[in-house]
Structure 1
Amino acid sequence: MKRKKYIRILLVICLAAMLLCVPALAAGGDVAGAVEQTWTDAAGQIKTVVDSVVFPALSMILAIAFFVKLAMCYFDYRKHGQFEWTGPAILFVCLIFVLLAPNYIWNIVGI
């Protein structure tokens, strides 16, 4: 008896979902054109957000990681007498890359 009740409720929910769903169609059936238009409309906003939020946040994170790694390498040098350059060098190169990325990344993307 409970199974029939649950099946009826499920069927009513499925029927309601089918009746209330509205198909989303692109204007004229041109989906690619709709996507391209959306991209051109939003490209300026995306560029502004990435330039003012994403790249500064990445730069800050990499700068903090670089200085922490440099300090840890210095303490290891004082303890063992050998300075390991690999970690700080990789973080420094990544930091330089992120600082210079806004100058050329938009040329690659085409904005």
Structure 2
Amino acid sequence: MKKKKWLVMVMLVFVLSLTFGTTVCAAGTGDVAGAIEGTWNDASEQIKTVVNKVVFPAIDLILAVFFFAKLGTAYFDYRKHGQFEWAAPAILFACLVFTLTAPAYIWDILGM
């Protein structure tokens, strides 16, 4: 009885995979690389637009908040200990400048 249930389950999985599985062809010629390149060429402008208008501004906002928060905590540490620690605010500022200017040159570096 167990073998019969197991065989029925295997057959059911097999039939469902045949029913819902489809054959994928790359433009009828089998040229998968050409299909991928065509899709990339169609989508690359949309990707650039989304990255320039959404991703970079979000990263800039996060870095700006962290920069000013770290600058504030560094100032309070200076008031408490008498020594200002420049490393963390300087690194965050450099990263902020990099991401603010990145859309101007990043696509030339990537060849897009």
TM-score, normalised by the number of residues in structure 2: 0.90
What is the CA–CA distance in structure 2 between the aligned matches of 1:39 and 1:74, rounded to whole Å? Answer: 48
Partner of 1:107: 108
Q: 2:42 maps to what in 1?
A: 41
In the superposition, the TM-score normalised over structure 1's length comes to: 0.91
The answer to whether structure 1 residue 11 and structure 2 residue 11 are counterparts is yes
Aligned to 2:31: 30
SS of the residue 1:22 aligns to: coil
The answer for the alignment partner of 2:94 in structure 1 is: 93
Structure 2 gap ranges (5+): none
In structure 2, distance between residues paired with 1:80 and 1:4: 78
Query: For each residue in 1:35-83, what CA deviation from the matched residue of structure 2 results, as whole angstroms up to 9, or x when unmatched?
Result: 1111111111111111110000000000000000000111111111111
Deviation at 1:3, TM superposition (A): 5.4
- Separation in 1 of the partners of 2:26 and 2:34? 9
Moved more, 49-58 or 15-24: 15-24
Residue 29 of structure 1 aligns to a residue in which SS? coil
Moved more, 86-95 or 13-22: 13-22
2-structure distance, mates of 1:104, 1:95: 15
RMSD (Å), alpha carbons: 1.4
Q: Which has the higher contact order (CA 8 A, sep 6+)?
A: 1
Letter in 2 for 1:49: V
Shift, 1:107, TM fit? 0.6
Identity, in percent, stands at: 57
